[in-house]
Amino acid sequence: MRANRWWLLVAVVLVITTFLSACGGKGGETASEAKTDGQSDNNAQNQSGRTENLVEIRFPWWGNVERHERYNALLDMFEKHHPHIRVIREPLSFNDYWDRMATQTAGGNPPDVLMFTRGQLSEYVSRGAVLALDEFIANGVIDMSDYSETARNIGNYQGTIYMVTIGMSAPATFVNVDLLNRKGIPLPKYEMTWDEFTDYLYEIAPQLGETEDGRKIYPLSDPTSSEAPISAFMRQRGYELFTDDGKSLGFGKEDLYEWFSYWQRLREDGIIPPADIWAEEGGLDWEQGPIATNRIAMEFGRASNNLINLQQVVEDNIDLIRIPTDPSRIKYGEIIMGANMGISAHSKHPEAVAQLINFWLNDLEFNKLYNNDHGITGNERLLKEWDLPPTTREVADHLQDVLATIKPQKQRPPGQTAFFNQLSRSHEEISFGVKSIEQAVEDVFREAEKILK
Amino acid sequence: MPYRKSRSKWMIYVIVTAFALVMIYPLLWMISSSFKPQSIIFRDMGLWPTSFTLENYKAGWRGVSGISFTTFYINTLMIVALAIIGNILTCSMAAYAFSRIDFTLKKTLFAAMLATIMLPYHVVLIPQYMIFHQLGWINTYYPLIVPKFLATDAFFIFLMVQFIRGLPQELDQAAIVDGCNPIQIYKRITLPLLQPALVTTSIFTFIWTWNDFFSQLIYISTPRLFTISLGLRMFLDSEGTSNWGSMFAMSTLSLVPVFLFFIFFQRLIIDGISTSGLKG
Amino acid sequence: MPVIKKLWAKNKYAIFFLSPWFVGVMVFGAIPMLVSLYLSFTNYDLIQNRTWVGTANYAEMFLDDARYKKAVMVTLKYVFFGVPLVLAFSLSVALLLNRGIRGLSVYRAVYYIPSLLGGSVAIAILWRQVFGRDGLFNQVLAVFGIEGTSWISNPSYALYTLIALKVWQFGSPMVIFLAGLRQIPRDVYESSSIDGAGKIQQFFTITLPLLTPIIFFNMVMQMINAFQAFTQAYVIGGGSGGPLDSILFYTLYLYQKAFQEFQMGYASAMAWMLLAIIAVCTAVLFLTAKKWVYYES
């Protein structure tokens, strides 16, 4: 009967796959790997049979295939220098990383090595998930003697250092130099005031014309709801985005109104793309993004280290200029962004992770392979010793420039994700003409009150 | 008369074929992109590749962190096979009870079964994760397989209940008269007649398990244990360029086994049930 | 004791058949559900805090959350447009294919392929290739002289592209309908032909009534499925809910609250609310089922 034949097929498939996986799984791997459950375990035997205090730490990271290969090589290098530490590698893509991080932390099973950007640092730190690093730094286990005061305090939350930077970047305006040259447009200056910048935009708008397939080219991107641009704007007025206690917004309604109005004016005058075009194209990135497709000539307030990866997929030459300055108030407002590394508060082997962090921050060979992947290293000694490739050099110079001229910055408070989501929504509502700017400002402040209390 | 009949038949063929082409356009686009060099995938708008390459398949198969898609395929096949067996066995048992046996609290338990389908996954996710963590099953395949042997896919229970309810009771009654107990009736009468439903269950279990990524993402963290879904997701990233070419190539390839499974088993549905069993 | 003996006698076979399911339901169903019910009355933030807040979450949901209302509207639209369309398509095509066209299995397989692709990571790009500004849909419209916008990023139309995506995957319920059609024994048709019934009459007196349990099943499952739709909206909207929250499905909003804003207590309350909505709708369907679903037994 046919039913029997089909049962047989399933059973055969099962037997074959079990057999294959049993064979494939054992080949060339140590016994402890074959049944790892991600927990650290002491006194495991390594392959040559020496019994040591082999310590295992779990290290998840986000990235694409290239980064996964690179990090594997990096961790191999680390393990060679530290034979008693084994790093269990858990590569992921960006969105998946956060799903798993949240689930594991909630489920009581967080990894040992933590990597956060500005967006998540305060959420996890304020909830006790991250170990304080002051002691490690004080007694030199994590050596930060080659880091400036600012760089050292990137991961400072309410007076204690919880994370250290493994790569910094500053927001810059990306300029498609080749495109401007092709259209015969003079290039913008490296440093311009807001007025100069706005005049420049209006000047070049009619000269930009269309792309090869007939789409209009706009001078600039739409940065209304990105953190770095709006931070810079507020900081130039002397306000941080949030108050020190994190319970309310640090700026006033008039300031937000001015911000929204400025970009709405630019939108209406055709300087930045209108809502429907931006909804479709603004969300795409890299080789599909608006710079690569020549939809915009400049991109405002983007993390400077992105230039390195972007330049690899875009043929046109792209340069960095600074965010517009405000000489009448506080001239420079940029904030430093990038990725940070830390130790889980529940890790069983904090010293091992500390050693990994120390190696990451200080070893030249390591950093050459790491190649400033998440941002420029804050280690000034390394930067002097190292002969950087040209694009990286450009990013590093820009960063040094910014670091030298900005005031210290504050950490985001917990709950801020909801604020930025609301900002994004208000931005859409204004640009699609669904709400007035006054209403949008009210919405943002009301939402902030709800979430930041 | 014959002329008119063949014309309407011809019309049906035209409509059905045109419709089919529209349906698979996205698939055709993906397959075609998998053969284009990555740099022109989004610039070359046509379906036929202007430049043909197998590089995406080679690079894609290499996989991630030194683990190739061979491992991913084997892992996934193993999980899927076990999931199918688990579902077929336990869901049919539960369905039989719900549709052919009368027992205490039947209505309540039936409602409970339906309720488990209705609760959104993201919320039971965390408590379930904690339970698995307590059992020490994190980073193993147990969280993906054991629930299948505990009839947690209530969808199939409900499906089989509806099928069984459509079967005439005369055979069952005849068997009872002959002195069979419910277990024997289940084995000898219901299960064979349930074949289309069992096949449907297998097909759906195969496809859903093959494509499922969220539970695999949450419970498996070592690349060596990755399934195909997790492997595919590795090609995408928002921080740098995604490997679209590899992803399309591997996605295309990963469709092949599912598709073959479907084609092979759909014949069992086609051939229908022999009606003689019902009369006798 | 005699009571227990009676209960055992009545239920021993049921216990045998149901024991795996029962264990599963208790461990992976009941306990997590109860935990999430408890969490819905707290302000659990996924990592640390867990204090009792009573009905505050539910109150905020109904009284003070504009996005919640939007999410409900979006999901209801999706259910009320999507489910009937899917059922209509899948039933019609199943009937068509059941007639015996040449190359039947090829067509059936082709119609089923979209269901295989639907949940994949590639679907976001593929769907943009169809409904984006330069996509297939607009190219077809251009043939008729209509200029299309970007459907997938337009707040007024984005939801309909997702409904189209759901209908595109009608292969799943279609396969179930085919299985149901095949289960109708051929001799029933034969004997009614002998009695002089025509094809159309047979459809309404034999096929449709005998198919009602399957129609009912597909209806209920598609509805529950539609209420819980997540993956497509997540992948296509990038997790954000789309332009102006136009594809902010209920479960997507729930996911944002839980995993992005660390408000797991609130998300649990949302989940139970969804369960209540689905339960009510399902109960209504079951009640109406008595009128039109025909069971052989």
pLDDT per position as a tens digit, C30-63: 888 888 899 999 988 877 778 899 899 999 999 9
Sequence-distant (6+) residues with CB within 8 A of C5 are: none
Mean pLDDT, chain B, whole residue set: 83
User: Across-strand partners of A210?
Assistant: A216
Both tokens of residue A309? Answer: 């990866």
Q: What is the C-alpha separation between C27 and A218, in angstroms, rounded?
A: 58
In degrees, rounded to 5, the angle at the alpha carbon of residue A382 between the alpha carbons of residues A381 and A388 is: 130
Sequence-distant (6+) residues with CB within 8 A of A79 are: A85, A86, A87
Q: Which residues of A touch B64 (CB under 8 A)?
A: 65, 68, 91
pLDDT at B162: 84
Hey, are the CB atoms on C152 and A280 less than 8 Å from each other?
yes
Chains with ≥3 Cβ pairs under 8 A against B?
A, C
Residue reference for tokens 């928002």: B238
CATH code of the domain occupying C65-292: 1.10.3720.10
Hey, are the CB atoms on C260 and A417 less than 8 Å from each other?
yes
CA-atom Rg of chain A in angstroms? 25
Contacts 24+ apart (CB under 8 A), A235-240: A235/A330, A235/A333, A235/A334, A235/A335, A235/A406, A235/A407, A235/A409, A236/A325, A236/A326, A236/A329, A236/A330, A236/A331, A236/A332, A236/A333, A237/A326, A237/A329, A237/A330, A238/A329, A238/A330, A240/A409, A240/A410
pLDDT at B149: 93
pLDDT at A50: 46
**DSSP of A103-164:** HHHHTT---SEEEEEHHHHHHHHTTT-B---HHHHHTTSS--TTB-HHHHTTEEETTEEEEE
Nearest CA in chain A to B195: A3
Nearest CA in chain C to B173: C297
Q: Going edge to edge, which strands form the sheet with A337-343? A: A113-117, A337-343, A160-169, A155-157
Chains with ≥3 Cβ pairs under 8 A against A?
B, C
- Residues A395 and A311: beta-carbon distance below 8 Å: no
Q: What is the C-alpha separation between C217 and B163, in angstroms, rounded?
A: 9
Q: What is the C-alpha separation between B52 and C209, in angstroms, rounded?
A: 53
Does residue A18 lie in a domain region?
no
pLDDT at A6: 52
pLDDT at A13: 56
Residues A213 and A225 in one domain: yes
Split at pLDDT 50, 70, 90, the class of C101 is low
Residue in C28, C116, C176 nearest the CB of B255: C116
* pLDDT tens over chain A, length 453 residues: 444 555 555 556 555 555 544 443 333 333 333 333 333 333 343 444 444 578 999 999 998 888 898 999 999 999 999 999 999 999 988 888 988 898 888 888 899 999 998 888 988 998 889 999 999 999 989 999 999 888 888 899 988 999 999 999 999 999 999 999 999 999 999 999 999 999 999 999 999 989 888 889 999 999 999 999 999 999 999 999 998 888 889 999 999 999 999 999 999 999 999 998 898 888 888 888 899 989 999 999 999 999 988 998 888 999 999 999 999 999 999 999 999 999 999 999 999 999 999 999 999 999 998 888 888 998 988 888 888 888 899 999 999 899 889 888 888 888 888 899 899 999 999 999 999 999 999 999 999 988 887
Q: Crossing angle of helices A94-106/A118-125, nearest 10°?
A: 0
Domain count, chain A: 2
Q: Which of A319-328, B194-203, C216-225 has the lowest mean pLDDT?
A: B194-203
Q: Is A318 helix (H, G, I), strand (E, B) or coil?
A: strand
Q: Which of C247, C220, C228 is nearest to C236 (CA)?
A: C247
Residue reference for tokens 């008729």: C144
Does residue A109 lie in a domain region?
yes
Hey, are the CB atoms on B126 and A13 less than 8 Å from each other?
no
Residue reference for tokens 């024994």: C185
Looking at per-residue pLDDT, the higher value among B119 and A332 belongs to A332
pLDDT at B270: 52
Give the phi and the psi of residue B218 in degrees, each rounded to 5: -70, -35
Q: What is the C-alpha separation between A373 and A388, in angstroms, rounded?
A: 13
Give the DSSP letter of residue A344: B
Cα dihedral value C74, C78, C80, C82, nearest 10 = 170
Split at pLDDT 50, 70, 90, the class of C6 is confident
Both tokens of residue A189? Answer: 């200056």
Residues A446 and A372 in one domain: no
Residue in C25, C105, C126 nearest the CB of B26: C126
Residue in C153, C258, C259 nearest the CB of A280: C153
Residues C81-101, mean pLDDT to the nearest whole number: 86
- Residues C61 and C269: beta-carbon distance below 8 Å: yes
**pLDDT exceeds cutoff 70 at C200:** yes
Chains with ≥3 Cβ pairs under 8 A against C?
A, B
C-alpha dist (Å) from residue B56 to A70, A313, B49: 20, 17, 13
In this structure, which CATH number among 1.10.3720.10, 3.40.50.720, 3.40.50.300, 1.10.10.410 belongs to the domain B64-279? Answer: 1.10.3720.10
Residues A342 and A439 in one domain: no
A211–B contact, CB cutoff 8 A: no
Residue reference for tokens 């300087």: A271
Closest chain B C-alpha to A96 CA, distance in angstroms: 7
pLDDT at A27: 32
Q: Which residues of C touch B279 (CB under 8 A)?
A: 187
pLDDT tens per residue, range A349-392: 999 999 999 999 999 999 998 888 888 998 988 888 888 888 89
Give the DSSP letter of residue C72: H
**pLDDT exceeds cutoff 70 at B80:** yes
Q: Is C166 helix (H, G, I), strand (E, B) or coil?
A: helix
**pLDDT exceeds cutoff 90 at B174:** no
Give the DSSP letter of residue C59: H
Q: Which residues of B touch C117 (CB under 8 A)?
A: 26-27, 30, 255
Hey, are the CB atoms on B114 and C23 less than 8 Å from each other?
no
**DSSP of B4-36:** HHHHHHHHHHHHHHHHHHHHHHHHHHHHHHHTS
Sequence-distant (6+) residues with CB within 8 A of C19 are: none
Q: What is the C-alpha separation between A211 and A352, in angstroms, rounded?
A: 54
**pLDDT exceeds cutoff 80 at B229:** yes
Spell out the SS3 assignment of A395-419. HHHHHHHHHHHCCCCCCCCCCHHHH
Hey, are the CB atoms on A276 and C49 less than 8 Å from each other?
no
The dihedral of CA C171, C176, C177, C181: what is its sign? positive
Residue in C47, C132, C153 nearest the CB of A124: C47
Nearest CA in chain A to C235: A95
% residues pLDDT > 90 (chain C): 29
Pick the residue of B14, B105, B114, B118 with the most C CBs within 10 A to test the interface with C by mutation.
B118
Residue reference for tokens 């205090």: A53
Q: Which residues of C touch B275 (CB under 8 A)?
A: 185-187
pLDDT at C209: 84
The length of chain A, given as a count of residues = 453
**pLDDT exceeds cutoff 80 at B31:** yes
Hey, are the CB atoms on C259 and A129 less than 8 Å from each other?
no
Domain boundaries, chain C: 65-292
Highest mean pLDDT among A15-29, A68-82, C130-144, C170-184: A68-82
Hey, are the CB atoms on A106 and C132 less than 8 Å from each other?
no
Provide residues of C within 8 Å CB-CB of chain A: 45-49, 64, 132-133, 149-150, 152-155, 238-240, 243-245, 256, 258-262, 264
pLDDT tens per residue, range B51-77: 888 989 998 898 877 888 999 999 999
Q: Is C12 helix (H, G, I), strand (E, B) or coil?
A: helix
Pick the residue of C138, C262, C264, C268 with the most A CBs within 10 A to test the interface with A by mutation.
C262
Domain boundaries, chain B: 2-53, 64-279
pLDDT tens per residue, range C256-295: 998 888 888 999 999 999 989 999 999 999 899 888 887 7
Residue in C153, C256, C262 nearest the CB of A123: C262
- Residues A347 and A112: beta-carbon distance below 8 Å: yes
Residues A320 and A371 in one domain: no
- CATH code of the domain in which A134 resides: 3.40.190.10
Residue in B139, B235, B241 nearest the CB of A287: B241
Residues B191-220, mean pLDDT to the nearest whole number: 87
Q: What is the C-alpha separation between A81 and A158, in angstroms, rounded?
A: 35
Q: What is the C-alpha separation between C98 and C91, in angstroms, rounded?
A: 10
pLDDT at A22: 46
Q: Name the residue type at position C72.
A: V
Pairing of strands A85-92, A55-62: parallel
Chains A and C: how many Cβ contacts under 8 Å? 66
**pLDDT exceeds cutoff 60 at B205:** yes
Restricting to A residues 40-59, those with a Cβ less than 8 Å away from any Cβ of B are 58
Closest chain A C-alpha to B274 CA, distance in angstroms: 11
Nearest CA in chain C to A110: C47
pTM for this predicted structure? 0.87
pLDDT at C197: 75
Hey, are the CB atoms on A424 and C240 less than 8 Å from each other?
yes
Q: What is the C-alpha separation between A147 and A141, in angstroms, rounded?
A: 15
C-alpha dist (Å) from residue A74 to A71, A80, A369, B24, B234: 5, 10, 7, 43, 19
- Residues A379 and A124: beta-carbon distance below 8 Å: no
Residues B19-33, mean pLDDT to the nearest whole number: 87
pLDDT at A300: 95
Q: Which of A140, A123, A118, A62 is nearest to A95 (CA)?
A: A62
Q: What is the C-alpha separation between A386 and A367, in angstroms, rounded?
A: 9
**Is this complex scored with an ipTM above 0.85?**
no
Does residue A38 lie in a domain region?
no
Domain membership of residue A342 as a residue range = 49-169+337-404
Q: What is the C-alpha separation between C230 and C240, in angstroms, rounded?
A: 12
Residues A245 and A224 in one domain: yes
Both tokens of residue A106? Answer: 């909630």
Hey, are the CB atoms on C13 and B275 less than 8 Å from each other?
no
